[in-house]
Amino acid sequence: MLAAGAVLYGAWVRRAWPRLREGGLVTTGPFARCRHPLYATWILLILPGMCLLVGSWPVLTVPLVAYAAARVAVRQEERELASRFGAAYADYARSTPCLVPRFR
Protein backbone atom coordinates (compact mmCIF):
# COMPACT_ATOMS: atom_id res chain seq x y z
CA MET A 1 0.00 0.00 0.00
CA LEU A 2 2.74 2.39 0.97
CA ALA A 3 4.78 1.79 -2.18
CA ALA A 4 1.74 2.02 -4.46
CA GLY A 5 0.65 5.22 -2.73
CA ALA A 6 4.09 6.80 -3.06
CA VAL A 7 4.28 5.95 -6.76
CA LEU A 8 0.76 7.24 -7.45
CA TYR A 9 1.33 10.40 -5.45
CA GLY A 10 4.53 11.17 -7.36
CA ALA A 11 2.90 10.46 -10.72
CA TRP A 12 -0.09 12.65 -9.92
CA VAL A 13 2.00 15.54 -8.68
CA ARG A 14 4.15 15.32 -11.82
CA ARG A 15 1.04 15.31 -14.01
CA ALA A 16 -0.73 18.18 -12.25
CA TRP A 17 2.24 20.46 -11.54
CA PRO A 18 2.63 22.04 -15.01
CA ARG A 19 -1.08 22.86 -15.22
CA LEU A 20 -1.14 24.23 -11.67
CA ARG A 21 1.84 26.48 -12.41
CA GLU A 22 -0.09 27.88 -15.36
CA GLY A 23 -2.97 28.65 -13.00
CA GLY A 24 -5.37 26.27 -14.71
CA LEU A 25 -8.02 23.95 -13.37
CA VAL A 26 -6.88 20.32 -13.56
CA THR A 27 -9.78 17.97 -14.33
CA THR A 28 -8.12 15.12 -16.22
CA GLY A 29 -6.22 12.01 -15.21
CA PRO A 30 -6.63 11.23 -11.52
CA PHE A 31 -8.50 14.51 -11.09
CA ALA A 32 -11.27 13.03 -13.25
CA ARG A 33 -11.71 10.28 -10.63
CA CYS A 34 -11.85 12.54 -7.57
CA ARG A 35 -11.34 16.26 -6.96
CA HIS A 36 -8.53 15.76 -4.42
CA PRO A 37 -6.50 12.70 -5.47
CA LEU A 38 -3.43 13.83 -3.56
CA TYR A 39 -5.32 13.84 -0.24
CA ALA A 40 -7.04 10.60 -1.25
CA THR A 41 -3.70 8.89 -1.90
CA TRP A 42 -2.49 9.80 1.58
CA ILE A 43 -5.73 8.79 3.27
CA LEU A 44 -6.42 5.57 1.37
CA LEU A 45 -2.92 4.21 0.69
CA ILE A 46 0.07 5.93 2.26
CA LEU A 47 -1.15 6.40 5.84
CA PRO A 48 -2.79 2.96 6.12
CA GLY A 49 0.38 1.43 4.68
CA MET A 50 2.50 3.24 7.26
CA CYS A 51 0.14 2.16 10.03
CA LEU A 52 0.34 -1.47 8.95
CA LEU A 53 4.13 -1.27 8.96
CA VAL A 54 4.00 -0.11 12.56
CA GLY A 55 1.97 -3.22 13.33
CA SER A 56 -0.44 -1.65 15.77
CA TRP A 57 -4.16 -1.79 15.00
CA PRO A 58 -5.03 1.30 17.12
CA VAL A 59 -2.69 3.32 14.89
CA LEU A 60 -5.11 2.64 12.02
CA THR A 61 -7.20 5.51 13.39
CA VAL A 62 -4.61 7.88 11.87
CA PRO A 63 -6.19 7.73 8.39
CA LEU A 64 -9.57 8.59 9.94
CA VAL A 65 -8.08 11.65 11.61
CA ALA A 66 -6.40 12.56 8.32
CA TYR A 67 -9.74 12.22 6.54
CA ALA A 68 -11.38 14.60 9.00
CA ALA A 69 -8.51 17.09 8.63
CA ALA A 70 -8.65 16.81 4.84
CA ARG A 71 -12.38 17.58 4.86
CA VAL A 72 -11.62 20.84 6.68
CA ALA A 73 -8.82 21.74 4.25
CA VAL A 74 -10.94 20.76 1.25
CA ARG A 75 -13.75 23.14 2.24
CA GLN A 76 -11.38 26.11 2.16
CA GLU A 77 -9.67 25.01 -1.05
CA GLU A 78 -12.98 24.46 -2.78
CA ARG A 79 -14.23 27.92 -1.80
CA GLU A 80 -11.09 29.39 -3.36
CA LEU A 81 -11.44 27.24 -6.50
CA ALA A 82 -15.11 28.16 -6.87
CA SER A 83 -14.33 31.86 -6.63
CA ARG A 84 -11.43 31.54 -9.06
CA PHE A 85 -12.96 29.27 -11.71
CA GLY A 86 -16.69 29.93 -11.22
CA ALA A 87 -19.07 27.79 -13.28
CA ALA A 88 -16.28 25.56 -14.63
CA TYR A 89 -15.42 24.47 -11.10
CA ALA A 90 -19.07 24.14 -10.08
CA ASP A 91 -19.68 21.76 -13.01
CA TYR A 92 -16.55 19.78 -12.18
CA ALA A 93 -17.51 19.56 -8.48
CA ARG A 94 -21.01 18.33 -9.33
CA SER A 95 -19.72 15.53 -11.55
CA THR A 96 -16.64 14.41 -9.61
CA PRO A 97 -16.50 12.93 -6.07
CA CYS A 98 -14.46 14.77 -3.48
CA LEU A 99 -12.06 12.30 -1.81
CA VAL A 100 -13.15 8.76 -2.60
CA PRO A 101 -12.26 8.04 -6.24
CA ARG A 102 -14.84 6.74 -8.67
CA PHE A 103 -13.60 3.82 -10.79
CA ARG A 104 -16.35 3.36 -13.38
Q: Where are the domains of the chain?
A: 2-95
**pLDDT band at residue 23 using 50, 70 and 90 as cut-offs:** confident
Q: Write the CA distances from 60 to 17, 45, 64, 99, integer angstroms.
A: 30, 12, 8, 18
CA–CA separation, 89 and 97 (whole Å): 13
**pLDDT band at residue 104 using 50, 70 and 90 as cut-offs:** low
